[in-house]
Structure 1
Amino acid sequence: MGPAQHLNSSDFLLIIAGSGRILAESACKAGLKALVIDLYADLDTREYAFEVCRLPSLAIEEVAPVLDGLVGRYGVGRAVYGSGVEPYPETLDYLDRRMTLLGNAPAVFRRLQDKAAFFAVLADLRIPFPAVSFVAPDSDGGGWLVKPMQGQGGLGIRRYSSGLADRGVYWQKFQAGTPGSVLFLADTHKACVVGFHTQFHADLSAGLEFAFSGLINHAILSAGQKVQLAGWLSQCARAFGLKGLNTLDFIQDGERIYGLEINPRPSASMQCYGELLTCHIAACQGALPEALPAQKGFAGFRIVYADRDLRIPEGLVWPEWVMDRPEVGALCHAGQPVCSVISRRSDPERVEAELAARQQQIFNRLIKV
C-alpha cells in the first residue's frame, strides 16, 4: 500500500498467524493498518494489509528479524496473534517483550498447551471431557486417538495404533457426536458468547482424518446446553485468566456435551460475524462489549483442500465468494489448503448446500498437475 510518512505508530497493528487474512480484514474494517507476518501472503491478505511478510515458518529465528524491521520502519507497538503460533511459544515470548500483546499472555498460552494441567482444571471445574492418558494405552482397542500437545486445526490427530513411539502427544478416547465450537470474549473474570458453531472436518489421508475444514455459525443446541456452555466459558475465563477472543471446542452427543480444548486466540470463526477486532482489543483491556455486532441470517465457510496436486491457472477469475486466493501459478499439493469459500444466507441448510456446491466449482476450475 501507500507510504507511511503521514501515519502515526498507533495507526498500525502487527498481525502474526499462519494465515493473517481474517485478522487483516478485520483490522482494515476497524481503520487500522495491518502489518502481517504469515506463511502465505495470499492475494486477499495483500489487499487488506499495509504490508505483508511471507515466511517459511513462525519460528523465532524467522520472525525476529522481520518483526524488528517492521518496528523500525513503522514504530508499531501493538500485536495480535492468530492460529499457527502453537508450535512456537518462544515467538510469543519475543513478541511480548517487544510490544503490547493484545491477546492472552504467553504464560496463559503455555498453560493451555500443557494438556495434563488443562484437563486437571476442567476436572476441578466439573466440566466433562473424554478420558485422556499421558502414557500410551496398552493396546489400540477402545478407540483411542493420538493428539499433539501443540496442535491446531485437527492436524496430527489420528487413531491410535499400539507400538508407535510418539513424543509431544497425548491420548484421548474417541467420542462420537457432532463437533462444535463456541466463540467468546473474555476479560479474565467473565465471558460473553459471540456464537455457537457446528464444525466440518475433512478426511484428507491416513493420519489426517480429522482436519478442520470449516464451520457454520449454527448449532442444534438446547437452551439449557447453551447456558451450560456459557457457564463453562466464564469458569475457564477465571481459572486461566483468559482475555480477548477465544474458542472452546466441544463434542455434542445427544444431551451430553464434552469439552475438548480452548484455542486462546482469535479464530477463523470470527469471519462469520461483524467486525470483532475492536471488541477483542477492548476485552484485552478489560472491557467486554455491552452489545455485539448485529448478526443477520447465518454464515459459514469451508476450507478447500486439494484432492490431488493442483496448479492455479493463468487467467483464473475468482468468484467474489472465494477468500485466501493463492497467486497464479501456485502449486497446491494434495492435502494442502487451496482457498476458502464463504456463504451467507437466511437459513443454515442453504449455507451448507451452497458451501458444498462452491467447493466443487473451485475443483472444476483448477488444473490437475
Structure 2
Amino acid sequence: MTTPRQPLAQAPFVAVAGLSARLLAQSATRAGLRVAALDLFGDRDTRAAAEVWCDIGGGGGALTIDRERLRHALERVARLPRFLGWIGGSGLEPLIAQLCGAPGLPRFIGNTAEASAAVREPRRFFALLDELHIPHPAVAFAPPATAQAGWLFKLADGCGGTHIKPLAALGAQSVPAQGYFQRIGRGRSLSALFIGAQGRAQLIGFAEQLTCALGELAFVHAGSIGPIDVPPQVAARVQSALDALCARTGLIGLNSCDFLLDGDALELLEINARPSSTMALYETASPDAWPHGLLQCHLDACRFDRLPSNRSAALAREPRWRAGQRVLFAPAPFTVSAKFSDACLRDRQCRDVPMPGTRVEAGQPVCTLLVRAASVDAVRRTLDAQRALVLQRIETCDEPDHARLPSLA
C-alpha cells in the first residue's frame, strides 16, 4: 500500500476496485474526489489519478483478484478522511455477494447483492427475461445433446469474455453452479450503457463491442467503439427492456447491457451490474455532457436516487465525436523498459501504462488505446494506426531481457 500524498483539498475519498481501476479513478478525479485505487496492475496513470494505491492481485502471474487482499485493503482505506465508500469494476463478479454489507467493510456504492443476483444468476435472469417478454438466445442448464457446434458455455460470474468457451472445449468438466449453455446468436455484438434510479433506466448510449481470439477463448473483450447510432425503434425497445428490468430488480447506478442486433431484431445476452469500461467512450465523445465524469452520475444515483440532468442527456444524444478503445495484448512475452513506459505515458492515446520492470506474458494486456475522431470509420483507422505504432514501440524500445522480439507482423 502506498502512502497518501499531501492532500491539495479536503474533498472526500472514494475507493475504486477491479482488475484495473484506472478508468474509475480518472472519472472520480473529474468529480473532484480523492481516490484510493485497488487493482492488479498499479499502472502509471492509475497511480497518477489516485492518492492511494493497493495491490489486490492473487500473485503467481494469474490475473485474478485475491479476496483476502481486497478485504484487507478495504478495511485500511475505510480509515481515510471523509471516506464515502467503494465502487467495484470488472473482475469482482464472483466476490460481490460476499463483500456487499460484510461486517467491518465500508459501504459499497452500487447495486445490492440481491439486485446483482437477479441479473447475474442465470436461472433467475433468463426466467425474468421470459416473464417480461424480452428476447434472448436459447439457454440450457445441462449440456445440449445435439448440435454442439451451435452452443457456448458461459460462467455467469465471469467477465471480459474469458468466461465464454465453445461447448466442445468443456470436455468432461462438470458444470459449475454459475455455468450455463447458450445458443450462438446472430447479429452485431453491441452494448448499452445506462444509469438506473427511481425504478427506471436512463440510456447513455450504444457501443459496438470488439472481441478477439486468445487460445481457446474466441470472445475475449478487446475494446469498444461508440457512441454508435441504432434505429429509433431499436433504441425504444432497449429502453423499454431496461426500464422493466430496473423496475423489477432495483438496479441502480451505472450498468451495461450486452445484446445482439440482427437487422431490427435484438436478443439480450447479459447485464453487467457495475460501471462498464464503455463509460470512457461517452466521456471522450461528449465531454460537455459529462463535465464531472460519469462516475459522479453513478454516485448521485446510488446515494440520492438521482438521474442525470436533462441537459446532459440532450448533449449526449448529439456527440461531438466518436471514440474507440482497444486493449493491446502482448504478441510475445517481454519486460517493460523505462523507455517503452515513458513513450506510452507521453502518448495521449495510450492508457493503462505499465510501470518499468513489469513482466507481460504473451496474451496479457499491455495497455489500452483510446482515440476519438469525427466518425466511426475514422475511429477504426486511428485505432489500427495506434496499434501498429505501439507494437513497433515494443520491438524497438530496448527491453532489458530481449535483444530483439520475434516479428510482430
TM-score (norm 2): 0.85
Cα deviation code 1:131-152 (max 9, x no counterpart): 0001111145350101112111
Q: Map 1:196-275 onto structure 2 (within 5 A).
A: 196-206=206-216, 208-274=217-283, 275=293
> Are positions 1:166 and 2:169 aligned together?
no
Q: Does 359-368 or 348-357 show the bigger shift?
A: 359-368
Residue of structure 1 in register with 2:199 after alignment: 189
Shift of 1:3: 2.4
- State the one-letter code of the partner of 2:390: I
Q: For structure 2, which runs of at least 5 residues remain unmatched after alignment?
A: 59-64, 284-292, 396-404
SS in 1 for 2:90: coil
Q: Does 48-57 or 90-99 show the bigger shift?
A: 90-99
Shift of 1:233: 1.0
Q: Separation in 2 of the partners of 1:97 and 1:185?
A: 29
Partner residue of 1:115 out of 122, 147, 167: 122
Q: Separation in 2 of the partners of 1:73 and 1:25?
A: 19
> Are positions 1:311 and 2:320 aligned together?
no
Shift of 1:188: 4.8
Shift of 1:97: 6.0
> Are positions 1:277 and 2:295 aligned together?
yes
Report how many residues are paired: 366
SS in 1 for 2:218: coil
Contact 1:312 / 1:326 at 8 angstroms: preserved in 2?
yes
SS in 2 for 1:72: coil
Q: Separation in 2 of the partners of 1:173 and 1:219?
A: 26
Contact 1:323 / 1:341 at 8 angstroms: preserved in 2?
yes
SS in 1 for 2:114: helix
Cα deviation code 1:32-62 (max 9, x no counterpart): 0011111111111001011111121434311
In structure 2, relative to structure 1, the CA distance for the partners of 1:266 and 1:335 (3 Å cut) is same
Residue of structure 2 in register with 1:180 after alignment: 190
Q: Does 60-69 or 47-56 show the bigger shift?
A: 60-69
Q: Separation in 2 of the partners of 1:219 and 1:77?
A: 34
Q: Separation in 1 of the partners of 2:361 and 2:198?
A: 41
In structure 2, relative to structure 1, the CA distance for the partners of 1:303 and 1:170 (3 Å cut) is same
Shift of 1:18: 1.2
Shift of 1:69: 1.6
Partner residue of 1:106 out of 103, 109, 113: 113
Q: For structure 1, which runs of at least 5 residues remain unmatched after alignment?
A: none
Q: Separation in 2 of the partners of 1:108 and 1:16?
A: 19
Q: Map 1:1-369 onto structure 2 (within 5 A).
A: 2-4=5-7, 8=10, 11-57=12-58, 58-74=65-81, 76-94=83-101, 98-141=105-148, 143-161=150-168, 163-168=171-176, 169-206=179-216, 208-274=217-283, 275-284=293-302, 285-291=304-310, 292=312, 294=315, 295-316=319-340, 317-318=343-344, 319-367=347-395, 368=405
TM-score (norm 1): 0.94
Q: Root-mean-square deviation (CA), in Å?
A: 1.9
Q: Separation in 2 of the partners of 1:330 and 1:220?
A: 39
Shift of 1:100: 2.8
Contact 1:188 / 1:240 at 8 angstroms: preserved in 2?
no
- State the one-letter code of the partner of 1:296: R
| Identical amino acids, percent of aligned pairs | 30
- State the one-letter code of the partner of 2:116: F
In structure 2, relative to structure 1, the CA distance for the partners of 1:101 and 1:20 (3 Å cut) is same
Shift of 1:219: 3.3
Cα deviation code 1:182-214 (max 9, x no counterpart): 0001115111110101110011111x1100111
Q: Does 155-164 or 31-40 show the bigger shift?
A: 155-164
In structure 2, relative to structure 1, the CA distance for the partners of 1:37 and 1:11 (3 Å cut) is same
In structure 2, relative to structure 1, the CA distance for the partners of 1:95 and 1:273 (3 Å cut) is farther
Shift of 1:176: 2.2
In structure 2, relative to structure 1, the CA distance for the partners of 1:218 and 1:273 (3 Å cut) is closer
In structure 2, relative to structure 1, the CA distance for the partners of 1:96 and 1:308 (3 Å cut) is farther
Contact 2:91 / 2:158 at 8 angstroms: preserved in 1?
no
Shift of 1:158: 1.3
Contact 1:313 / 1:366 at 8 angstroms: preserved in 2?
no
Cα deviation code 1:252-309 (max 9, x no counterpart): 1122100000001111011112311111111112111123274311111001111222
In structure 2, relative to structure 1, the CA distance for the partners of 1:239 and 1:97 (3 Å cut) is farther
SS in 1 for 2:278: helix
Q: Does 125-134 or 325-334 show the bigger shift?
A: 325-334
